[in-house]
Amino acid sequence: KEQGFTGHSDNWFDDDEFKKQFTVDLTSQKHDYYFGSYSNFYIHEEMLKDTNRTETYRRAIENNPQDFKDKIVMDIGCGTGILSIFAARAGAKHVYAIEYAEIALFAQEIVKRNGLQDKITVIKGKMEEIELPVKKVDIIISEWMGYCLLYESMLDSVLWARDKYLAKGGKMLPDRAIMYVAAIEDGEYKS
């Protein structure tokens, strides 16, 4: 059993135990590093435990049922499906949860165990390659922001989906972001 950073260093981390957390074989030649990294339960646990992030999305969705009632919603990069579940609870007519990583298989089970399989359809595939069963959606939700806002590189997929699938007058959540940048100089780094 792993001991983390306690005990003798030989017992700190076990590669086999770590690999068991993945839902995909990361040694495969077909492995896509970016999407494969989201097949690890750890990254989803970390995001779900970020209560500021998760609660902000929950409040933004569930506290605005008038925006979601009877709407068709698309959740891009749904991960475990938490935002899709919030949208269904807020009254969405149907949610299409898009996820390319293997975690999509677990999202399907999570949706089922929450009794929402009639309201949420998980579609495993790349956003730009899937075919939605509807022509347009009323709302696009996505947690596309990463470290330093753009790290996860999902913004392009969200904008592509907006241009193809968002109905006229449709909404996006989030629909804006602000990035503050300041120049610095580190004299020791330069030399």
Spot the catalytic one: 2, 143, 185, 188.
Answer: 143
Query: What is the phi/psi pair of residue 173, to 5°?
Result: -135, 115
* Tokens found for residue 122: 């998980």
Spot the catalytic one: 2, 102, 152, 185.
Answer: 152
Name the 3-class secondary structure at 30. coil
69 C-beta neighbours (distance < 10 Å), count: 11
User: Which of 55, 58, 54, 90 lies closest to 73, judged by CA?
Assistant: 90
Which amino acid makes up residue 39?
S
| Known catalytic membership, residue 143 | yes
Name the 3-class secondary structure at 141. strand
Rg (C-alpha) for the chain, rounded Å, is: 19
Active site residues: 143, 152
